[in-house]
Structures are given as structure tokens and as C-alpha cells.
């Protein structure tokens, strides 16, 4: 019997590869983890490394530290002192990173359109509802 969780993992892998391929094709020179971090930083203000760890639970503290160091070296993020608390180091996107994020957003729209070809709005709604239920069920295991 096929497992729905393996089906989800398989499709997720295809989406992941499509995004990675687009990043390569556009010479963005970022990893998928860096892409996730850039998108998170683009959508949130006053973010610290601790905030990212709290939000993106699949990233370990050591991995995040390494990735942020590489991103800083590659001029994608800057660490700046918070204006309200000098002990807090905020992560901000550089101009270079903002351009990368814009490319990524365009790629996500394109990939999403391709993924949903032939899938009606009603099917999308049902899929989201089922996926949300599965997600809540999985929360009990995590």
C-alpha cells in the first residue's frame, strides 16, 4: 500500500529540485537553505538568529550559524545592532539579496503555475484542507 506521507515527500522533492534548478539557471548561487532564510528575512522585520531558529525548526543552531556566516561573506545579509538593545544582532538583507529574493519570488510564481496546471480551484481548496489536517496530525508527533 502506498503511503500518503511518502507521496508528499516525493512531490516536495520535485518542487525542491525545480527551485534549485531555477536558482542555478539564474546564477543566484544560493543553496535551498539560504533561499529559505532570504525569503523569511524578506517577509519579517527585526529578525535575529534566535527568531529564525524558533520559526524554522528544521535548521540546527550550528547549521544556521554556518549558513549565516557564508551569507554574510557573500554579501547577502548584514548583522546590525538593534537600536533598542545593543546585545541583539538583527539580520538584514543587502541590496544584492533583495535582487535574489525578487528572482526567487518570480520563480515561485512560475513553478506554482506549472504545478497547478489542470488542477481546479475546488481541487486546490480541498487539497489545502486535507494538507492542513495532515499537518495538524503531524504536530502531535513533533
Identify the band that residue 44 occupies on the pLDDT scale cut at 50, 70 and 90. very high
Q: How many domains does the chain have?
A: 1
Average pLDDT over residues 51-64: 84
User: Which residues lie closer than 8 Å to 98 by C-beta, 6 or more apart?
Assistant: 42
At residue 56, the pLDDT reads 76
pTM value is 0.77
pLDDT at 1 over 70: no
DSSP 102-136: HHHHHHHHHHHHHHTTT--HHHHHHHHHHHHHHHH
Q: What is the pLDDT of residues 72-88, one digit of tens each?
A: 999 999 999 888 887 88
Mean pLDDT of the chain: 90
CATH number, domain with residue 91: 1.10.10.10
Identify the band that residue 131 occupies on the pLDDT scale cut at 50, 70 and 90. very high
pLDDT at 60 over 90: no
At residue 96, the pLDDT reads 94
Domain that holds residue 86: 4-139
Q: Where are the beta strands (DSSP E) in 1-122?
A: 77-81, 89-93
Identify the band that residue 33 occupies on the pLDDT scale cut at 50, 70 and 90. confident
Amino acid at each position: 500500500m502506498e503511503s500518503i506521507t511518502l507521496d508528499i515527500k516525493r512531490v516536495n522533492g520535485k518542487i525542491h529540485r525545480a527551485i534549485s534548478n531555477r536558482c542555478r539557471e539564474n546564477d543566484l548561487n544560493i543553496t535551498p537553505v539560504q533561499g529559505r532564510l532570504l525569503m523569511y528575512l524578506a517577509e519579517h522585520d527585526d529578525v535575529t538568529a534566535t527568531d529564525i531558529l524558533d520559526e524554522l525548526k528544521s535548521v540546527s543552531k550550528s547549521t544556521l550559524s554556518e549558513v549565516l556566516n557564508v551569507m554574510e561573506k557573500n554579501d547577502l545579509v548584514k548583522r546590525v545592532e538593534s537600536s533598542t538593545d545593543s546585545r541583539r544582532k538583527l539580520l538584514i538583507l543587502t541590496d544584492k539579496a533583495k535582487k535574489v529574493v525578487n528572482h526567487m519570488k518570480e520563480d515561485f510564481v512560475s513553478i506554482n503555475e506549472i504545478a497547478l496546471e489542470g488542477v481546479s480551484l475546488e481541487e486546490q481548496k480541498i487539497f489545502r484542507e486535507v494538507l492542513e489536517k495532515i499537518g495538524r496530525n503531524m504536530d502531535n508527533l513533533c
